Amino acid sequence: MNNNYISNSKVLVTGGAGFIGSNLCEALLKLKNNVVCLDNFATGKPQNIQHLLANPNFQLVVGDIRNIDDCNKACQGIDYVLHEAALGSVPRSIVDPKTTNDVNISGFLNMLTAARDANVKRFVYAASSSTYGDSKGLPKVEDVIGKPLSPYAITKYVNELYAEIFYTTYGLNTIGLRYFNVFGRKQDPNGAYAAVIPKFVMQFMKYESPLINGNGEFSRDFTYIDNVIQMNLLAISTSNENALNQVYNVAFGERATLNNLVQSLKDKLAKFDPKIAKVEIKYGAERVGDIPHSLASIDKAINLLNYKPEYSLEKGLEKAVAWYWENLK
């Protein structure tokens, strides 16, 4: 790992039992930091952090970001916040916009307030590529966005506005990370709102036909978890003043269609079980609120944070598929 990453600091990871949060907790502990994990286990999983509970540098706070007292308690003595807690999923926000708003906006504001009151040095938060909305241009550049296409996208855009105001009004340094289709170890394949890669992997392993929404030619900039960890560590560690109070794309900077993705998953899984090669793929209606194409410019992150993503989609899928085969079979 980069020698310039922070160590011997106290870092709060909200949503620390979730897919991205638990991976961040592990990375921070390896760097000899003290880590506080705040989670209410609404979407996070106890098993994601079970192996960390015996570590004297790890503390679990069971609480909800919608409760300001929980936020204040978790922020005591904290140097840096990595705010991952949120209700993800565009379809979920369309079914239940109120809960998405309560967690992603009210909860976010609680965390900003608690971080400000605890004199936290820096607040790094999970933003989203959904903020680009109906903007047509590719690749997506941070300062050109469109109108949001879902309640979820609205909440993530409001986060960016609040973060900016907390810097200009109160001097709280923030960095927003617009994640593009993150995948990798510990991502949950179950539930109505499971992400596409683990869901398809699970279906292939059961010889079930994955269902692609639309004709499969929508494209995404799929981003492996280790690229995301790198960006979070750079964001809390950078000493470049010009890099603060900015929003960055977090991606690899290449796109693949869903058809390409599914074929690649099938090929990689068939190496473990040749019968998977015979599973057919089904197609259904397009999903409301979906953006047709997504591709990130990562120039800003490269220039201001020295971001160097190591994992392409193919390289990331090799690792992810092997992890799923080992852990979910």
How far is residue 221's CA from residue 180's CA, in Å, rounded to a whole number?
Answer: 6
Secondary structure letter of residue 296 according to DSSP: B
Residue 84 CA to residue 75 CA, distance in Å, equals 14
Distance between CA atoms of 252 and 196, rounded to whole angstroms? 18
Model confidence at 191, in pLDDT bands (50, 70, 90)?
A: confident
Q: What is the pLDDT of residue 2?
A: 73
Q: What is the mean pLDDT of the chain?
A: 96
Residue 23 tokens read as 């991976």
pLDDT given for residue 193 in this prediction: 75
Go through 275-313 and write b for each residue having 16 or more CB atoms within 10 A of its CB, e for each that does not. ebeebebeeeeeeebebeebbbbbebbeebbebebebbb
Could you tell me which residues are beta bridge partners of residue 220? 256
High-pLDDT (> 90) share of the chain, %: 91
Mean pLDDT value of segment 194-202:
92
CB 159 within 8 A of CB 103: no
By DSSP bridging, strand 174-179 and strand 182-183 are unpaired
Q: In angstroms, rounded to a whole number, what is the distance separating the alpha carbons of residues 86 and 257?
A: 27
**What does 188-226 look like in DSSP terms, one character per residue?**
---STT--HHHHHHHHHHTTPPPEEETTS--EE--EEHH
253-288 confidence digits (pLDDT tens): 999 999 999 999 999 999 999 999 999 999 999 887
- The residue annotated as part of the active site, out of 80, 132, 152, 324, is 152
**Residue 242 CB: number of other CB atoms within 10 A?**
9
In this prediction, residue 1 carries a pLDDT of 67
Q: Determine what percent of the chain falls in helix, strand and coil, rounding each to the nearest 5.
A: 45, 15, 40
Give the bridge partners for 213, in sequence order: 284
The residue ranges of DSSP E strands in the chain, in sequence order, are: 10-14, 34-39, 58-62, 80-83, 122-128, 174-179, 182-183, 211-213, 219-220, 223-224, 246-250, 256-257, 282-284
Give pLDDT tens digits for 298-314: 999 999 999 999 999 99
pLDDT tens column, 231-259: 999 999 999 999 999 999 999 999 999 99
Active site residue 152: yes
pLDDT at res. 185 = 96
Residue 290 has pLDDT above 90, yes or no: no
Here the tokens at position 118 are 């605890």
pLDDT single digits (tens) 76-118: 999 999 999 999 988 899 999 999 999 999 999 999 999 999 9
Domains of the chain: 10-186+224-253+291-312 (3.40.50.720)
